Amino acid sequence: MVINIGTKNSVVNLFMRELRDASIQQDSMRFRRNMERIGEIFAYEISKTLDYEPKEVITSLGTAEVSVLKNVPVLATILRAGLPLHQGMLNYFDNADNAFISAYREHRKDDQFSIQIEYVSSPDIENRVLILTDPMLATGQSMVASYKALKSHGKPAHTHFVSVVASVQGVEYIKRMLPKTGTTIWIAALDDELTAQGYIVPGLGDAGDLAYGQKD
């Protein structure tokens, strides 16, 4: 299942406009904050799909029954670009366990590249809800490689893949490479074009550089 929260009119489209706007992008603090706010919106939408149970809470005047999460999810992200989006998720799932993946593109002279996983830090994810975030879903290779690396820590009951901007090719790659059941893809924008170097057009640029400054 693919859910595009940007197809309906909502405040998420204001944040998307600012993320894409080259002049506003010069303010890295605002770029990070907009990523974070979109992460919060994704977290709220995903929260509607989770399992809840009733709990009593004692107020100053009596007791009330509220529905609370049965189990907190595991929030995972790909360093470094995914950190603001991950923080938005963590703002809402504030008791969640967290996982981090260090991955990078290893480029070759023919403009092709492979995804290298250097490091994974994760709790046990066996039979748990996993939310894996990466702001840009370009070819989809990073997301798939990260998911496979995380599976060394268990098989999740359900995995939510979350990206702010996705390419058609990247979405199709994930749908082809990952299980048909127990998988949901969440995006806020779907772009048609992917360059030979694996960059989304119109996209928004390099999310990591825009959030934290250019790297060598």
Write the DSSP assignment of 147-174 as a string of letters.
Answer: HHHHGGG---SEEEEEEEEEEHHHHHHH
Domain count, the chain: 1
| pTM of the predicted protein model | 0.92
* CATH value at residue 78: 3.40.50.2020
CB 46 within 8 A of CB 52: no
- CA pair distance 142, 115, nearest whole angstrom: 6
Q: What is the pLDDT along the chain (216 residues), one digit of tens a residue?
A: 999 999 999 999 999 999 999 999 999 999 999 999 999 999 999 999 999 999 999 999 999 999 999 999 999 999 889 999 999 999 999 999 999 999 877 666 666 666 788 899 999 999 999 999 999 999 999 999 999 999 999 999 999 999 999 999 999 999 999 988 999 999 999 999 988 778 899 999 999 999 999 887
The phi, psi pair for 96, rounded to 5°, reads -70, 155
Those residues whose C-beta lies under 8 Å from the C-beta of residue 82, and which sit 6 or more positions away, are 133, 134, 135
Give the 3-state secondary structure of residue 122.
coil
Q: Residue 122 belongs to what domain range?
A: 2-212
- CA pair distance 206, 199, nearest whole angstrom: 9
